[in-house]
């Protein structure tokens, strides 16, 4: 503890100044800009009050984008957090510990590759005439499920979400692995002596003791799902039609394509509000946000 609170505050000033300038100032500016009609290359700005915010409620693309982001979030939580947790538990199992390094690398490798590369590769792989996904489905007897994955508004967003899961599951798995390695082995040994199976140990020891990491991964995944841009922009540009637009791609489109910076700012405000609410709910649902044993 610092003896002088004033000195402590003084040390915090540079950091606070940076946060104020680069986080809070743009945030306030975004709110302010949403009340105007303006574009990036003209000095003309027209005050239009709440018109941009009202438009959010009548614009059908906002509904599509919000639905897509929510789908993205729900599916990502189930697959990335759920499956990532299971994968981590499997790799932590004694039977697999010998191969853990190998599988960890395999699962993590897509994370380090730029989505520009991954997106184009999957775009080719998913093409119904020249890609490899549909022939593979036919090969394993699931030919009935072959689709024009990115060319139909009913499947485009799911295809993008799938690719995103494929890329990011390794990262979430790694976070869970780190959390699991902090669990004392005594707990598992004691449980084994009491006759607990591996699955019971997973549910009664592993899951409760990685609760904090679960919260972290869910927050990361949900926030990531509402900020998704690259995946959509590279694979479908929001199409066919507007079917795979997300809030960020639509915000970008209105700001930099259709010259409506004011409306783009209003979309940014909407995103801020949605994420704030979701984060508060997650923190409340997950409890205090403090690890067991912390004071």
Distances (CA, A) of 188 to 79, 87, 170, 184, 233: 26, 18, 25, 8, 46
Round to whole Å and give the CA distance between 49 and 34. 8
Q: Shortest distance, CB of residue 1 to another protein, whole angstroms?
A: 38
Q: Shortest distance, CB of residue 123 to another protein, whole angstroms?
A: 8
Taking CB atoms within 8 Å and a gap of at least 24, the contacts of 235-238 are: 235/119, 235/122, 235/123, 235/150, 235/156, 235/159, 235/160, 235/163, 236/150, 236/156, 236/160
Q: Shortest distance, CB of residue 151 to another protein, whole angstroms?
A: 3
- Of 27 and 223, nearer to another protein (C-beta) is 27
- Of 30 and 282, nearer to another protein (C-beta) is 30
Q: Shortest distance, CB of residue 221 to another protein, whole angstroms?
A: 27
Q: What are phi and psi of 49, to 5 degrees?
A: 60, -130
Q: Shortest distance, CB of residue 129 to another protein, whole angstroms?
A: 6
Q: Shortest distance, CB of residue 36 to another protein, whole angstroms?
A: 9
Q: Residue 278: name the closest of 200, 223, 224 by CA.
A: 223
Cis peptide before 240 (omega within 30 of 0): yes
Q: Shortest distance, CB of residue 83 to another protein, whole angstroms?
A: 27
DSSP codes joined into one string, 41-108 = T-S--EE-TTHHHHHHHH-HHHHHHHHHHHHHHHHHIIIIIIIHHHHHHHHHSTTTGGGHHHHHHHHH
48 CB-near residues (< 8 Å, 6+ apart) = 35, 36, 37, 262
First to last CA, the chain: 17
Q: How many residues belong to the chain?
A: 295
Cβ(166)–Cβ(235) under 8 Å? no
Q: Shortest distance, CB of residue 29 to another protein, whole angstroms?
A: 7
**Which pair of structure tokens corresponds to residue 135?**
């022939």
Binding site for another protein (CB under 8 A): 26, 29, 33, 37-45, 126-130, 148-153, 236-242, 252-253, 256-260
């Amino acid at each position: 503890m610092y003896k002088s609170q004033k000195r402590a505050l003084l040390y915090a000033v540079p950091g606070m100044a940076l946060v104020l300038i680069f986080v809070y100032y743009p945030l306030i500016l975004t709110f302010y800009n949403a009340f105007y009609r303006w574009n990036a290359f003209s000095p003309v700005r027209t005050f239009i009050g709440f018109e941009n915010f009202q438009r959010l409620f009548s614009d059908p693309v906002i509904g599509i984008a919000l639905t897509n982001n929510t789908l993205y979030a729900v599916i990502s939580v189930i697959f990335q957090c759920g499956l990532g947790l299971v994968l981590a538990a499997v790799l932590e199992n004694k039977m697999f510990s010998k191969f853990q390094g190998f599988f960890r690398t395999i699962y993590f490798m897509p994370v380090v590759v730029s989505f520009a590369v991954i997106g184009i590769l999957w775009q080719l792989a998913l093409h119904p005439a020249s890609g490899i996904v549909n022939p593979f489905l036919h090969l394993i007897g699931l030919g009935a499920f072959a689709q024009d994955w990115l060319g139909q508004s009913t499947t485009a967003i799911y295809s993008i979400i799938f690719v995103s899961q494929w890329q990011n599951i390794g990262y979430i798995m790694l976070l869970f692995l780190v959390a699991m390695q902090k669990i004392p082995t005594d707990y598992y040994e004691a449980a084994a002596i009491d006759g607990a199976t591996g699955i019971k140990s997973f549910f009664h020891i592993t899951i409760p003791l990685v609760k904090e990491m679960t919260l972290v991964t869910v927050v990361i995944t949900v926030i990531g799902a509402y900020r998704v841009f690259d995946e959509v922009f590279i694979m479908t540009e929001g199409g066919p039609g507007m079917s795979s637009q997300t809030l960020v791609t639509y915000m970008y489109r209105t700001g930099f394509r259709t010259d409506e910076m004011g409306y783009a700012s209003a979309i940014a405000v909407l995103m801020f509000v949605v994420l704030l609410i979701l984060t508060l709910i997650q923190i409340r649902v997950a409890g205090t946000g403090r690890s067991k044993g912390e004071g």
